Amino acid sequence: MKNKTALIAFGGNALLPKPRHGLQSEQIKHAEKAARLMIHIVRRGYDLIIVHGNGPQVGNLLIQMEESINKVPPFSLDICDAMTEGSMGYMLEKAIINELRKKSLDKEVVTLITQVIVDKEDPAFDSPSKPIGPFYSEYRARMLIREKKWKMMEDAGRGFRKVVPSPKPIDVVPKHVMHDLVRSGKIVIAAGGGGIPVIINGRGLFQGVEAVIDKDYTSGLIARETRADLFIILTNVPQVYLNFGTPREKPILEMPVDEAKQQMAREQFPPGSMGPKIEAAIDYIEGGGKEVLITSASHLKAAMIHRSGTRIFGPNEET
Amino acid sequence: MKNKTALIAFGGNALLPKPRHGLQSEQIKHAEKAARLMIHIVRRGYDLIIVHGNGPQVGNLLIQMEESINKVPPFSLDICDAMTEGSMGYMLEKAIINELRKKSLDKEVVTLITQVIVDKEDPAFDSPSKPIGPFYSEYRARMLIREKKWKMMEDAGRGFRKVVPSPKPIDVVPKHVMHDLVRSGKIVIAAGGGGIPVIINGRGLFQGVEAVIDKDYTSGLIARETRADLFIILTNVPQVYLNFGTPREKPILEMPVDEAKQQMAREQFPPGSMGPKIEAAIDYIEGGGKEVLITSASHLKAAMIHRSGTRIFGPNEET
């Protein structure tokens, strides 16, 4: 029997939670913890695609590049993304291989360096808003604005930071390989950090851009295109809430996609946190997806048996 | 008709030649140059596996980590290798995709994060000898020896450098995926930097180690296991020479594997430069391989039509 397919998305903070600074030994421990969860999903009969964020990791890398700028030329953000796809992919892949070995499960794990195409006309390019990397002094910020044409923003008295656009993902490369690998039962780690952002330029060629692609949107796109049966989004709360942070806060256990859209329209889910997750869930369901589970790492096992988490489903799914 | 398969191996200096310091724009230009060569091989009817080195790139990354050590915890060499597999894989993959697009060729390119297993009992672990990363003062070197148990060596008056072992590759992960991708006609970039070195530890688990795996040996292993029809090793000379650097220097155009072994025994090919390439060639041919081509990037096209380069072949191949 053909396995079902699950896509799981989680943030880079799953491997590097605040207030830690990113000791390698800690990141490896967190990768091992994540790997145990992944194997739990596999043992429930799913083939698995893993999409991880890279916020804290690429932040650290940008600091490293800035600090050493007098000795080594720094890379742009797309290449830094590629580097974290390598480091985080390797840490996760190794941890998953080891969990498989402990359980005597025979399955191959693959980490794909993944480019994600964004539209060069995406309106996000007109209003960069996503802060990345180190804080700069006003003096250095002015220099970088002039010399490198960076957009920079003052951040609440802590200094100046570079801001980049956050365009929507429209295609994933290599797509067919990714689909084939999933279909053949491999555990696939792909599109780390939301993917390496590239545009197709005026000459029809791939060109890296300095941008951040939200990993929730990229994972929704991949879940839709691989026709994943289950789309799991890990976050730092066990459930989605209505009236979050107010006295009338109420957890949502189940929510048909139409209700999700209504609550979205009522601005129940703030942009930059739950908003993109609900939006990715809606896009996935409306693109033919079956079921979305939004929960925290510690509640995932319970959520897999409908005892926690928020389940979002389409009109054809039973509740 | 099934395509033939070629594996090509080249050094990290193909993207970052001395005396350059590694400007991104330069590395991208070199990747584009390399991509044009790769497409030349593809258009001659070969499916292609690409194995690149990462010496200068991982060297730069280690310097960046050391320079920023007061702000961000550094990673060990295996994770740094994974990062260069990401950055270099992305630069090469994008450049190759663009060459394919220019020529209207429809082929997918895949970059695999690749772990390479080495034997934890490999004698190389007893005598680390491969210098990596930045130069340290004697004071800091003594500290690192004491605190991190690094092996360090004085390097000709320029300071102290960390030395790591260079064990032999024994297996490649993910192996089956790599083979399937090659067989299905994808252009596969794998085992960058010779691969991320891992051992299987006493508990039967994968464990990253600080080591350098010679990319010539890894590429020979992959060429053998994928039964590649042609194994191309790029180097900085157009041919292999007998009596290299002496008045009796003589280029070798063709050499049966038996002769290669005899000349190897006569120490014609120095370790650390031509030696590992000839050794990898011999291992590949003796493992059932057909043909090895050793040449420089600028002579590759001529070498593909037997007008330059050194061709090494087995007893069953016609000359």
Among candidate residues B54, B194, B277, B314, the one labeled active-site is B277
Q: What does the pLDDT average to over A195-211? A: 97
Candidate list B53, B130, B194, B289, residue with the active-site label: B130
Question: Which of A64, A78, A102 is closest, CB to CB, to B64?
Answer: A64
Q: What is the pLDDT of residue A317?
A: 66
**Token pair belonging to B110:** 């895949």
Domain ranges across chain B: 4-118+170-313, 128-164
User: In the A/B pair of chains, how many CB contacts fall below 8 A?
Assistant: 160
SS3 A166: coil
DSSP for B232-287, please give it. Answer: EEEESSSSEEESTTSTT-EEESEEEHHHHHHHHHTT-S-TTTHHHHHHHHHHHHHT
> A109 CB contacts (<8 Å, ≥6 apart)?
A93, A96, A97, A100, A186, A187, A188, A189, B174
What architecture does CATH give domain A4-118+170-313?
A: 3-Layer(aba) Sandwich (3.40)
Joined tokens for residue B35 = 């991509």
Question: How many CB atoms sit inside 10 A of residue B99's CB?
Answer: 21
Per-residue confidence (pLDDT) for residue A315, from 0 to 100: 83
User: Pairing between strand A230-235 and A291-296?
Assistant: parallel
How do strand A187-189 and strand A160-164 relate by DSSP bridges?
unpaired
Q: List Cα–Cα distances, B262 to B239, B258, B267, B317, in angstroms.
A: 18, 6, 9, 19
Please say if A130 is a catalytic residue. Answer: yes
pLDDT at A205 exceeding the cut of 70 = yes
Tokens of A94: 């190794």
Nearest to B186, CA basis, from A264, A55, A112: A112
Yes or no, beta carbons of B73 and A24 under 8 Å apart: yes
Rounded to 10°, the helix A175-183/A215-225 angle is: 60
Phi and psi at residue B249, to the nearest 5°: -55, 135
Query: Is a pLDDT exceeding 80 seen at residue A226?
Result: yes
Residues in a beta bridge with B36? none
How high is the pLDDT of residue A237? 92
* pLDDT number for residue B167: 98
How far apart CA A29 and CA A26 sit, in angstroms, is 5
pLDDT of res. B271: 84
Task: Sort residue A22 into left (φ over 0), alpha (ψ -120 to 50) or beta.
Answer: left
More confident residue, B316 or A299: A299
Whole-structure pTM value = 0.96
Residue A315 zone, left/alpha/beta (φ > 0; ψ -120 to 50; rest): alpha
For residue A72, give the nearest of B63, B110, B112 by CB distance: B63
State residue B157's pLDDT score.
83
Q: Which of A54, A162, A277, A289 is labelled catalytic?
A: A277
Scanning the structure block, which residue is given the tokens 């220099």? A143
Catalytic status, residue B215: yes
Contact B223, B202 (CB under 8 A): no
What are residue A222's phi and psi, to 5 degrees? -70, -40
In this prediction, residues A300-310 reach a mean pLDDT of 95
Compute φ and ψ for A130, nearest 5 degrees.
-95, 110
For residue A272, pLDDT beyond 90:
no
List the A151-154 sheet strands across, edge first.
Answer: A130-136, A160-164, A151-154
Helices (DSSP H) in B133-273: which residue ranges?
A: 138-148, 175-183, 215-225, 257-265
Q: How confident is the model at residue A1 (pLDDT cuts 50, 70, 90)?
A: low
Stretch A219-234: mean pLDDT, rounded?
96
The pLDDT value given to residue A16: 85
The answer to whether A186 is a known catalytic residue is: no
Q: Which residue of A has its CA nearest to B80?
A: A87
What does the pLDDT profile of chain B (319 residues) look like in tens digits? 568 999 999 999 888 887 677 899 999 999 999 999 999 999 999 999 999 999 999 999 999 999 999 999 999 999 999 999 999 999 999 999 999 999 999 999 999 999 999 999 999 999 999 999 999 999 999 999 999 899 999 987 889 999 999 999 999 999 999 999 999 999 999 999 999 999 999 999 999 999 999 999 999 999 999 999 999 999 999 999 999 989 999 999 999 999 999 999 999 998 878 999 999 999 999 999 999 999 999 999 999 999 999 999 998 765 5
Burial label, B274 (beta-carbon count in 10 A; 0-12, 13-18, 19+): buried
From chain A, pick out residues whose CB is under 8 angstroms from the CB of B184.
180
ipTM: 0.96
Instruction: Residue A21: count other Cβ atoms within 10 Å of its Cβ.
Output: 12
| For B207, nearest residue in chain A (alpha carbons) | A94
Q: Is B168 left (phi over 0), alpha (psi -120 to 50) or beta?
A: beta
SS3 content of chain A, % helix, strand, coil (to 5): 40, 25, 35
